[in-house]
Structures are given as structure tokens and as C-alpha cells.
Amino acid sequence: MSFELIAHRGFPHLYPENSMLGINAAIEAGAKNIEIDIQMSRDNIPMVFHDDNLKRITGIDEQIYFKSSQELKKIAISEKEKFGEKFIDEKLPTLLELVIYLTNKKDVHLFVELKQESLKHVGVELMVKKVLSVLQPIINHCVIISYDKEALIITRKLAEQAIGLVITDYDQKTKSWSKKHQPEYLFADREAITKKQMPLWKGAWKWAFFEYSLSAIKEWVPENVNLIETDNIAALINYQNSIN
């Protein structure tokens, strides 16, 4: 198979999503591409977290951007409903913690998704600036991705930085935007684009599809897809190695 694999939120099949433990496990399994999510704290510190509400992962029913980074760093991201008490000591990481960890891992690329809730809450330009600043030590190995087109335009305005649009609609409007702004990547839900809509748009960008399980990857991967996101990175790496 010619496509690359992306470890979606680290290794959530076996570890809490967006956790340092899961990201390390994904890299140890052989992942060269990691995708993470960024929400902002009350004091405008980028945190590695997907939801705007903390409840699903931590059990605390509160918006993440109403808590300070110091408060958030003490919160367990154990996903008790999924993993029980197994990861009770795993804490919510800042983006800076992850950057420090990745500084010497030059062969790992990071896809950093700016979440729409925090972009709206703190302001697009402020969030983009904060994230780009923290990423500087590893910036050449990073791609900023988002559903938010304004965030990607501002990213390009502030830095010569690779960007990726996560598309919601496979339509002419999105195609025209992509041709105008030339993102390096287009991300799409594998169920959002049907076989009837093939072939994929051609351009300078690379296509990344999410989220694939082992059974889904055996069923169908569209032609010209360059990257595949998965929650179970080890299984897909092993499968890919077995057929190559």
C-alpha cells in the first residue's frame, strides 16, 4: 500500500486519546505521523485536547477554556468509561509538553488541529499566534489543520507554514477555496465522500482520510489517498508491513 499512516489522537484504541502516554506508544509502534487537537485554557495556553467540554474524557462537566492551564494540568484524562482506573495518573498535557517531548524525534511529523470552539472563544488570530509560538522548536515538522478556513488563511499570513483543510462538504465551493489557497493537505471523513463522487480532486495537495479501522482499510481505500488516519496505529502498521 502506497499511503502513509497517521496516528489519530495518538493511540486511542489502547490509551486515552491525546495523551502523552498514547502518543509515545504510537511512536514506539512505528508511527511517523501524529494528529492531535488543540483547545485553549482560560489563560490562553494551548492544551492537547479534543472536546471543548471536559466531561467525556475527564468526568468534569465544564468547558476547557474556563479553567487555567495549571488547573487543567492536574486533571486526569483517564477515560474511565472506556478504560476504568487503568490510566488514572495520566494528566492533560499542554502543547509545550508535547513539543519538548518531540524535539529530538526529527522523523515524526505532527498534524495540529485547531478546534473551532476555542478559535471562536479566544479569537482566531490570537489562538493561531499562540500555537505557532509554542511549535517553533519543531515547526518544520508540523502542519496546522482545521475546519476553520480563516484560521488557515491567518496561519499562512503569519508564517510560511504547511496547512490542511478538514473539509465538511465535497462541493464546488470547497474545491474553489482549495484551488485558491492551495493547502498542502485536504482531510476528509472516509464516509463523507462516496465511490460515486470519485475521482478525488487533483491538485498540489495530499489527501488524508479518517478514521480507518483494520476492517475498513481492507474494504476500500480510494485511489489517490496519500494518508490514512487510524485509532489503532499498531494494527495498521502491522497489516501494511504484511502485504508490502
Return the residue matching grid coordinates 483547545.
39
pLDDT in tens, 26-73: 999 999 999 999 999 999 999 999 999 999 999 999 999 999 999 999
Task: Report the pLDDT value the prediction gives residue 231, as an integer from 0 to 100.
Answer: 98
Is residue 1 predicted with pLDDT exceeding 80? no
Q: Which of helix, strand or coil describes residue 168? A: coil
In angstroms, rounded to a whole number, what is the distance separating the alpha carbons of residues 184 and 163?
A: 6
pLDDT in tens, 161-205: 999 999 999 999 999 999 999 999 999 999 999 889 999 999 999
Q: How buried is residue 240: exposed, middle or buried, by Cβ count under 10 Å (0-12/13-18/19+)? A: middle
Average model confidence (pLDDT) for the chain? 97
Task: Report the pLDDT value the prediction gives residue 35, as an integer from 0 to 100.
Answer: 98
Task: Report the pLDDT value the prediction gives residue 243, as an integer from 0 to 100.
Answer: 87
Residue range 68-80: average pLDDT?
Answer: 98
In angstroms, rounded to a whole number, what is the distance separating the alpha carbons of residues 163 and 205?
A: 10
Domain boundaries defined on the chain: 4-51+95-243
Task: Report the pLDDT value the prediction gives residue 207, as an integer from 0 to 100.
Answer: 98
Task: Report the pLDDT value the prediction gives residue 202, as an integer from 0 to 100.
Answer: 96
244: confidence class by pLDDT, cuts 50, 70, 90: confident
The H or E element spanning position 35 is: strand 33-40
Task: Report the pLDDT value the prediction gives residue 2, as an integer from 0 to 100.
Answer: 83
Question: Looking at domain 4-51+95-243, which of 3.40.50.300, 1.10.3720.10, 3.20.20.190, 3.40.190.10 is its CATH number?
Answer: 3.20.20.190
pLDDT in tens, 111-136: 999 999 999 999 999 999 999 999 99
Q: Which of helix, strand or coil describes residue 4? A: strand
Residue range 200-225: average pLDDT?
Answer: 94
Q: Which of helix, strand or coil describes residue 110? A: strand
